[in-house]
């Protein structure tokens, strides 16, 4: 884990696992709990087992969670990590009441949205409020899940390694997407095991730290381009394993095999080498989890 990097979250995750806690909450230093929100009570939905929730399915396969927020100015705003190939399309979300077990809960935010540097450069959106209805993503519907205000069931912690950034891809240093990759990878395991992801409450105040949006955009671009090819593959992937540990190990090997088939664009040997390193670290993470759990 590089010194002074967001990759240090992994230490907290392991400490949470070792503590015997029922669930983990990840919250950023610029996200503030409010008196109106029962932060622990809302996030504890990940421990509730199967229960009835409003489930949404998107026609594009991706649901824009920013549509659950009310902005000062009407404009199409998408969360950081939302694929560009799925933007500005009719999602036509279908809502249904279903009994599902929530394994991951993503709380939203007021004030400043979590969007990529490109969007910050062309728009300055400001959130007035949460519209008031949490939803669960259908099994065939995905969304980027960050680490700003997110909870995870204890059993799912082994599938939540925070991916290491800082590697040069085609000459571009990558950053700010470690949580996005980890969120998508955890979703793949959750969906494989029949669980679900909920988005909405608890809502935090996101008083965003100072950012250089040009620098953010430059550091995010390679990750954005890689996700454009990785996400269609991930949505179609079929994992193996009956536990989160087994599913996550399966995912690591599938990543190694898949990147060898990707060619063109940013898919050079160094890029493939980076993902082989990621897969190796995923399995190293699992070894740490097994040691903590004594299995």
* pLDDT tens digit sequence for 66-105: 999 999 998 889 999 999 999 999 999 999 999 999 999 9
Q: How confident is the model at residue 126 (pLDDT cuts 50, 70, 90)?
A: very high
Token pair of 39 as six digits? 């932060």
pLDDT value at residue 217: 97
Average pLDDT over residues 163-191: 96
Q: Is 16 within a domain?
A: yes
- Residue 45, domain extent: 6-293
Whose tokens are 């996700």? That residue is: 227
Calculate the average pLDDT of the chain: 97
In a domain, 202, yes or no: yes
Q: For residues 65 and 79, is the Cβ–Cβ distance under 8 A?
A: yes
- The single-letter DSSP state of residue 72 is S
- pLDDT at residue 8 greater than cutoff 80: yes
Question: What torsion do the CA atoms of 134, 139, 144, 147 make, to the nearest 10 degrees?
Answer: 70
Q: Where are the strands (E) in the chain, listed by range?
A: 23-27, 31-32, 50-57, 69-71, 94-111, 127-130, 135-137, 149-153, 168-169, 172-173, 196-206
Which residues does 108 contact at the CB level (< 8 Å), separation at least 6? 65, 68, 69, 130, 149, 199, 200, 201, 203, 204
Q: Which residues contact 2 (CB under 8 A, 6 or more apart)?
A: 164, 166
Which of 64, 46, 69 shows the shortest CA–CA distance to 195? 46
For the segment 168-194, the average pLDDT, to the nearest whole number, is 96
Of the pLDDT bands very low, low, confident and very high (cuts 50, 70, 90), residue 245 is very high
Mean pLDDT of 177-188: 98
Using pLDDT thresholds of 50, 70 and 90, give the confidence band for residue 295: confident
pLDDT of the residue at 75:
83
pLDDT score of 242: 98
207-246 in b/e form (b: 16+ CB < 10 A) is: eeeeeebeebbebbbbbbbbbebbbeebbebebeeeebbb
Stated pTM of the model? 0.98
Is residue 192 very low, low, confident or very high in pLDDT (cuts 50, 70, 90)?
very high
**Could you tell me the pLDDT band of residue 266, with boundaries at 50, 70 and 90?**
very high
Residue 1 inside a domain? The answer is: no
In-domain check, residue 111: yes
Q: For the chain, what percent of residues have pLDDT higher than 90? A: 96
Annotate 38-64 with b (16+ C-beta within 10 A) or e (fewer): ebeebbbbbbeeeeebebbbbebbbbb
In this prediction, residues 151-176 reach a mean pLDDT of: 96
Return the percentage of the chain with pLDDT > 70, whole number. 100
Please count the structural domains in the chain: 1
Residue 157: pLDDT band by 50, 70, 90 thresholds? very high
Q: How confident is the model at residue 117, as a pLDDT?
A: 97
Q: What is the mean pLDDT of residues 138-167?
A: 97
27 falls within a domain = yes
The pLDDT of residue 243: 98
Please indicate, yes or no, if residue 230 is contained in any of the structural domains. yes
Check whether 224 has a pLDDT greater than 90: yes
């Amino acid at each position: 884990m590089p010194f002074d990097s967001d990759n240090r979250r992994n230490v907290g995750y392991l400490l949470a696992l070792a503590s015997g806690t029922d669930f983990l909450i990840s919250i950023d230093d610029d996200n503030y709990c409010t008196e109106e929100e029962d932060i622990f009570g809302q996030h504890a939905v990940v421990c509730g087992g199967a229960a009835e929730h409003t489930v949404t399915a998107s026609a594009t396969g991706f649901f824009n969670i920013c549509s659950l927020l009310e902005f000062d100015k009407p404009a199409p705003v998408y969360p950081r990590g939302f694929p560009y190939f799925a933007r500005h399309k009719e999602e036509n979300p279908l809502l249904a009441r279903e009994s599902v077990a929530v394994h991951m809960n993503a709380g939203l935010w007021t004030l400043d949205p979590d969007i990529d540097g490109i969007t910050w450069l062309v728009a300055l959106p400001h959130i007035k409020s949460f519209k008031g209805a949490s939803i669960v993503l259908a099994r065939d519907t995905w969304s980027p899940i960050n680490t700003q205000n997110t909870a995870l069931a204890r059993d799912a912690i082994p599938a939540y390694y925070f991916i290491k950034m800082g590697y040069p891809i085609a000459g571009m240093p990558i950053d700010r997407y470690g949580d996005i990759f980890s969120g998508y990878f955890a979703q793949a395991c959750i969906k494989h095991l029949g669980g679900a992801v909920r988005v909405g409450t608890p809502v935090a105040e996101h008083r965003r730290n100072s950012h250089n949006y040009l620098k953010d955009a430059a550091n995010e671009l390679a990750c954005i381009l890689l996700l454009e090819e990785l996400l269609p593959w991930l949505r179609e992937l079929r994992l193996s394993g009956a536990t989160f540990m087994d599913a996550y190990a399966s995912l690591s090997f599938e990543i190694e095999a898949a990147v060898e088939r990707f060619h063109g664009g940013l898919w050079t040997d160094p890029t493939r080498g980076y993902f082989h390193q990621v897969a190796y670290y995923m399995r190293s993470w699992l070894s740490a989890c097994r040691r903590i759990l004594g299995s």
